[in-house]
Structure 1
Amino acid sequence: MPTITLKLELYKPIKFKQAMYERMTQINTKFANWLLLHPDVNKATSKIFKEFSDEKFPSAIINQTIRDVKSQKKHQQARAFRKMWCSFNNQNLKVEKNGDFYTVSFPMLEKRIGVPVVARSYQQQWLDRIIDGMAKQGTAKLYKKKRKWFIALPITFDVEASQGEKVMGIDLGLRYLAVASIGTKSLFFKGNQCAYIRRRYAAKRRKLGKAKKLDAIRKSKNKEARWMKDHNHKISRQIVNFAVSNGVGIIRMEDLTDIRNRAKSKKEAGRNLHSWSFYQLKEMIRYKAEMAGIRVEIVNPEYTSQTCKCGYREKANRSGIRFKCKQCGYTIHADLNGAINIAKAISGLVA
Structure 2
Amino acid sequence: MPTITLRLELHKPTKVKQEMYERMTEVNTEFANWLLNHPELNQATSKIFKEFSSQRFPSAIVNQTIREVKSQKKKQKAKTFQKRWCCFNNQNLKIVKKGDFYTVAFPTLEKKIGVPVVVRPYQQTWLDRIIDGTAKQGTATLYKKKKKKKWYVAIPITFEVKQRKETNVMGVDLGLRYIAVASVGTKSLFFKGNPCAFIRRRYAALRRRLGKAKKLHMIRKNGDKESRWMKDMNHKISRQIVRFALANGVGVIRMEDLAGIRKRAASAKEAGRSLHSWAFHQLQTMIAYKAEMSGIRVEWVNPTYTSQTCKCGHREKENRNGIHFKCKKCGYTIHADLNGAINIAKAISGLSA
Secondary structure class of the residue paired with 1:19: helix
Q: Report how far residue 14 of structure 1 moved.
A: 2.1
From the superposition, tell whether residues 82 and 261 of structure 1 become closer, same or farther in structure 2 (CA, over 3 Å).
farther
TM-score by length of 1: 0.94
Asked if structure 2 preserves the Cα contact closer than 8 Å seen for 1:72 and 1:78, the reply is no
Aligned to 1:194: 196
Q: Deviations over 1:214-234 (max 9, x none)?
A: 332222122222222111111
One-letter amino acid matched to 2:221: K
Q: Report how far residue 270 of structure 1 moved.
A: 9.1
Aligned to 2:245: 243
One-letter amino acid matched to 2:285: E
From the superposition, tell whether residues 240 and 87 of structure 1 become closer, same or farther in structure 2 (CA, over 3 Å).
same
Q: Deviations over 1:105-157 (max 9, x none)?
A: 11111111111222111111111111121111011111122222211110011
Asked if structure 2 preserves the Cα contact closer than 8 Å seen for 1:6 and 1:153, the reply is yes
Aligned to 1:272: 275
Q: Report how far residue 174 of structure 1 moved.
A: 1.3
Paired with 2:181 and 2:172, the residues of 1 have a C-alpha distance of: 6
Note the aligned Cα RMSD (angstroms): 2.0
Please, which moves more after superposition, 250-259 or 281-290? Answer: 250-259
Aligned to 1:35: 35
Paired with 1:266 and 1:58, the residues of 2 have a C-alpha distance of: 57
TM-score by length of 2: 0.94
Paired with 1:44 and 1:135, the residues of 2 have a C-alpha distance of: 31
- Mapping 1:213-224, distance limit 5 Å: 213-224=215-226
Aligned to 1:180: 182
Q: Report how far residue 209 of structure 1 moved.
A: 2.3
Q: Deviations over 1:163-200 (max 9, x none)?
A: 11010000011111110000111111111111111111
Please, which moves more after superposition, 254-263 or 106-115? Answer: 254-263
Paired with 1:197 and 1:312, the residues of 2 have a C-alpha distance of: 38
Instruction: State the identity %.
Output: 74
Paired with 2:309 and 2:199, the residues of 1 have a C-alpha distance of: 33
Please, which moves more after superposition, 41-50 or 125-134? Answer: 125-134
Secondary structure class of the residue paired with 1:240: helix
From the superposition, tell whether residues 326 and 270 of structure 1 become closer, same or farther in structure 2 (CA, over 3 Å).
closer
Asked if structure 2 preserves the Cα contact closer than 8 Å seen for 1:252 and 1:298, the reply is yes
Paired with 1:11 and 1:138, the residues of 2 have a C-alpha distance of: 22
From the superposition, tell whether residues 267 and 216 of structure 1 become closer, same or farther in structure 2 (CA, over 3 Å).
farther
Aligned to 1:108: 108
Paired with 2:13 and 2:343, the residues of 1 have a C-alpha distance of: 52
Paired with 1:172 and 1:75, the residues of 2 have a C-alpha distance of: 31
Secondary structure class of the residue paired with 1:222: helix
From the superposition, tell whether residues 262 and 148 of structure 1 become closer, same or farther in structure 2 (CA, over 3 Å).
farther
Paired with 2:264 and 2:81, the residues of 1 have a C-alpha distance of: 33
Please, which moves more after superposition, 221-230 or 204-213? Answer: 204-213
- Mapping 1:204-215, distance limit 5 Å: 204-215=206-217
Q: Deviations over 1:241-274 (max 9, x none)?
A: 1111111110001112554577657999995332
Asked if structure 2 preserves the Cα contact closer than 8 Å seen for 1:6 and 1:154, the reply is yes
From the superposition, tell whether residues 265 and 30 of structure 1 become closer, same or farther in structure 2 (CA, over 3 Å).
farther
Q: Deviations over 1:31-89 (max 9, x none)?
A: 11111111111111100111111111111111111111111124556542111111111
Please, which moves more after superposition, 212-221 or 89-98? Answer: 212-221
Paired with 1:244 and 1:65, the residues of 2 have a C-alpha distance of: 42
Gaps of 5+ in 2: none
Paired with 2:127 and 2:299, the residues of 1 have a C-alpha distance of: 29
Aligned to 1:327: 329
Aligned to 2:133: 133
Paired with 1:28 and 1:181, the residues of 2 have a C-alpha distance of: 50
Aligned to 2:3: 3
From the superposition, tell whether residues 220 and 114 of structure 1 become closer, same or farther in structure 2 (CA, over 3 Å).
same
